[in-house]
Structure 1
Amino acid sequence: MPSQPNRLKELRQERNISLNSFSKELKEKYQISLSPSQLMYYENGKRQPRNSEIWNILADFFGVPVAYLLNFIDDKEENIIDYKVEDKELIKQGRELVKMLLPNISLEQFEELYHKQSALPPITSTNSNGITKEVDTSYIVHEKLTHIYWFIGVAPKEYQEMLAKWSLLKFEEHRSIIELLDILISYKLDYSKKNRIPLLLSLKIYFTSHNKLVHANYKTVH
């Protein structure tokens, strides 16, 4: 049987507060503006926050783990991942670096695109009483994104931009870039040989064949 996409409405009703009061309290405590209609959309699962930090704020407001808020676990006291203070600082630093490294898109657009490309199909779980429910997999994507911020925060400077941009690519695009890197590495290893193919020609052959494959796949799909 399907379940609520998250526990936001349930937790709000336990507090016995209206959507209007909820919106005002969030503004006063966290200095964020979420209208009652936005909060209602989040409760119904019709819309996701464009900023993943919103889930952290909402979970903190009710004093529960994000995993519980997103209906991923059933125990309020359980926390799948408990970040240390230094890790939280690295995550925060990673978020700031993404804004600096990708100036042509907002952080909200970055996260929205990541969520779209990393979305997982719903999964079901059955408890000890034999009751089956649908589990919201958005929590998994949320944690993956948090890990990306952490990696960017801890990475050497020369890798930070690469990690930020790499995270927005699909699996097939990752493979294409790895194949391109293989060509470049082979060229370096083969540099001393007289019969090596010039680098520019190697890249031209690669991109020509790759574009033909992409065009063929596009025709097949459409």
Structure 2
Amino acid sequence: MENRLKQLRKQNGISLKKLSQKLNDLYGVTISDSQLSYYENGKRSPRDESIWKYIATFFDVPVGYLLGYQDDIDLIMNGTNEEQKVFDSRSSPYLQKNLNFLKDIEEVKKIKTDTLVAIEFVENIFSRLSQYGRVKPGSYASEMNHISFALLDFLSDLERVENSLQE
């Protein structure tokens, strides 16, 4: 499945040049509009796969959705039947895990803290492994990066649960 960068960009009415500027202004990420064009057309992928994280954050979607691993953004972003849904980007997009069992805001905060620690840990491993050469699909460095994306998606869903419990 190809990524959804072009679709998201067009839906939000933003040009490649403007997206390039916004990514730089907001996150300090320098990507030319021509590079973004290569990414959205599937001709190239970022050398640093964390670029996807910044783009997903900009469009307020999970990385798995941006990369085409997850199908239904409405289910991901809004939940169904008032349940929070999380889709595992490494398996079928229809395999859902819900977080509706989390009712204690203090427990959610503890899980969030643990998740942030895990993200930092995994990103450190990825960074160290990627120092030794290009990150190739199927390599441990690539797998660490996928784990990082999954943790970021999980963190995003935990934040939604936390916000709903604070209301």
Please list, as runs of the form range in 1=range in 2, the aligned pairs for 1:1-222 lying within 5 A after superposition.
5-76=2-73, 77=76, 78-80=86-88, 84-98=115-129, 102=131, 105=132, 109-111=133-135, 114-115=136-137, 118=138, 144-146=143-145
Q: Structure 1: which 5+ runs fail to align?
A: 120-140, 150-222
TM-score (norm 1): 0.45
d(CA) in 2 for partners of 1:71, 1:147:
13
Superposed CA offset, 1:106-130 (max 9, x none):
xxx431xx22xx39xxxxxxxxxxx
d(CA) in 2 for partners of 1:32, 1:147:
20
d(CA) in 1 for partners of 2:19, 2:147:
30
Q: In the TM superposition, what is the alpha-carbon distance from 1:29 to its structure 2 partner?
A: 0.6
Q: In the TM superposition, what is the alpha-carbon distance from 1:97 to its structure 2 partner?
A: 3.0
Give the residue type in structure 2 aligned to 1:90. F
When residues 148 and 14 of structure 1 are mapped into structure 2, their CA distance, relative to the original with a 3 A threshold, is: closer
Q: RMSD value over aligned CA atoms? A: 2.8
Q: In the TM superposition, what is the alpha-carbon distance from 1:148 to its structure 2 partner?
A: 7.6
When residues 12 and 148 of structure 1 are mapped into structure 2, their CA distance, relative to the original with a 3 A threshold, is: closer
Any conservation in 2 of the 1:65–1:79 contact (CA below 8 Å)? no
Point out the structure with the larger helix share.
Answer: 1
When residues 59 and 79 of structure 1 are mapped into structure 2, their CA distance, relative to the original with a 3 A threshold, is: farther
Superposed CA offset, 1:62-94 (max 9, x none):
111111111111122144269911111102221
Give the residue type in structure 2 aligned to 1:145. M
The size of the alignment, in residue pairs, is 113
Helix, strand or coil: the match of 2:134? Answer: helix
